[in-house]
């Protein structure tokens, strides 16, 4: 891509749009709306808010142009936009993301919404985010829920490194204006890092795509996002099976298990939760009408002293 110097903002957007419109590795719908994609890319790289899209057409520095050009080259090669610009929005958060972590999805915002609804009447206690990735769920709970602390786990040390960076940034500037609850990061799969912990709520967006379903994914997902965050054995059910089976041992009485579910596996996941002694309170549908969130509960009242102890 060649941009005349010194380029204007509108000229830079036009140059990026022209490149993306001719990029064969991009999805047809992205190429068809290349001007919008270019606005998102350029303004994200330059740190401009969407409201500035029609602002004064300032000249740009060579350094700024170089950063945009580098991101545009990556995007034209098919890399997801969030990785190219290095950030993704999630609820009230602006998170750093890169190929070490799954890109947060709007559907997962609904998982957080259900989790917050569970704990709103019972402040305090410990929340656990299993498979935290970028920290999207954990940091949302820590900033929006009245929780004593949050434990975020992941099987990937690389993912935890990204999540820690995001936690540091959010702690410095909490989006809700109130202090963020303490967040602790632990390495390990499923409940392995949680010996002795009893949580008020356990939340997870586990990998749930079967390995033989990989070809049905878009290239932007299949070729770029971390497989460990996408795929699960046992026809996509392995992580659901582990999370449901171990939930009661790590929930305080009355505690909740909130899972993002694959609509194709929602009924089977609900059956696993019931088989593990939990009460399935609801399956929540997303805006497309698909089962997306499972909310299950351990019997008892939150904080019941008959079955509580200090968590490590």
Burial 180-214 (b: 16+ CB within 10 A, else e): bbebebbeeebbebbeebbbbbbbbbbbbbbeebe
Among the listed residues 185, 204, 182, the one whose alpha carbon sits nearest the alpha carbon of residue 258: 204
Q: What is the pLDDT of residues 101-133, one digit of tens each?
A: 999 999 999 999 999 999 998 889 999 999 999
Q: What is the pLDDT of residues 280-307, one digit of tens each?
A: 999 999 999 999 999 999 998 765 544 4
Q: What is the pLDDT of residue 2?
A: 56
Host H or E run for residue 154: strand 149-154
Range name among 18-22, 90-94, 308-312 with the lowest pLDDT average: 308-312
Antiparallel, parallel or unpaired: β 87-90 and 251-260:
unpaired
At residue 59, does pLDDT exceed 80? no
d(CA 125, CA 119): 9
Give me the percent of the chain exceeding a pLDDT of 70: 91
Q: Greatest CA separation found in the chain?
A: 72
How far is the CA of 139 from the CAs of 115, 144, 170, 265, in angstroms? Answer: 13, 8, 8, 27
Q: Which of the two residues, 178 and 165, has the higher pLDDT score?
A: 165
pLDDT-derived band at 308, boundaries 50, 70, 90: very low
Sign of CA dihedral 107, 110, 112, 115: negative
Mapped onto helix, strand or coil, the DSSP state of residue 159 is helix
d(CA 263, CA 289): 10
d(CA 22, CA 269): 43
DSSP code, position 103 = P
Q: Which of the two residues, 309 and 230, has the higher pLDDT score?
A: 230
- Across the range 259-270, mean pLDDT stands at 97
Q: What is the pLDDT of residues 138-156, one digit of tens each?
A: 999 999 999 999 999 999 9
108 touches 122 (CB < 8 A)? no
| pTM (predicted TM-score) | 0.90
At residue 87, does pLDDT exceed 80? yes
Q: Which domains are seen in the chain, by residue range?
A: 9-85 (1.10.8), 88-307 (3.40.50.150)
DSSP code, position 240 = H
Mapped onto helix, strand or coil, the DSSP state of residue 252 is strand
């Amino acid at each position: 891509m060649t941009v005349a110097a010194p380029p204007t903002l509108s000229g830079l957007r036009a140059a990026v749009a022209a490149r993306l419109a001719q990029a064969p590795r991009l999805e047809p719908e992205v190429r068809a709306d290349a001007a919008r994609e270019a606005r998102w890319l350029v303004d994200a790289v330059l740190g401009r808010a969407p409201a500035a899209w029609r602002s004064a057409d300032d000249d740009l520095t060579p350094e700024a142009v170089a950063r945009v050009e580098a991101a545009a080259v990556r995007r034209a090669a098919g890399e997801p936009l969030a990785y190219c610009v290095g950030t993704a929005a999630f609820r009230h958060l602006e998170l750093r993301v890169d190929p070490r972590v799954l890109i947060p999805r709007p559907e997962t915002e609904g998982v957080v919404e259900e989790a917050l609804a569970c704990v709103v009447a019972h402040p305090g206690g410990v929340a656990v985010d299993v498979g935290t990735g970028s920290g999207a769920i954990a940091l949302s709970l820590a900033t929006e829920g009245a929780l004593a602390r949050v434990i975020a786990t992941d099987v990937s040390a690389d993912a935890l490194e990204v999540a820690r960076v995001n936690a540091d940034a959010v702690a410095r500037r909490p989006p809700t204006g109130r202090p963020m609850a303490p967040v602790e990061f632990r390495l390990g799969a499923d409940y392995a890092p949680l010996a002795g912990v009893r949580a008020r709520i356990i939340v997870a967006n586990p990998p749930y795509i079967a390995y033989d379903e990989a070809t049905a994914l878009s290239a932007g997902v299949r070729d770029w996002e971390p497989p460990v965050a996408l795929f699960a054995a046992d026809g996509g059910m392995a992580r659901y099976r582990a999370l449901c089976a171990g939930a009661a041992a790590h929930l305080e009485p009355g505690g909740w298990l909130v899972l993002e579910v694959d609509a194709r596996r929602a009924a089977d996941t609900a059956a696993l939760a019931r088989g593990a002694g939990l009460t399935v309170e609801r399956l929540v549908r997303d805006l497309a009408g698909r089962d997306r969130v499972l909310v299950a509960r351990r019997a008892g009242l939150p904080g019941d002293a008959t079955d509580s102890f200090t968590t490590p």
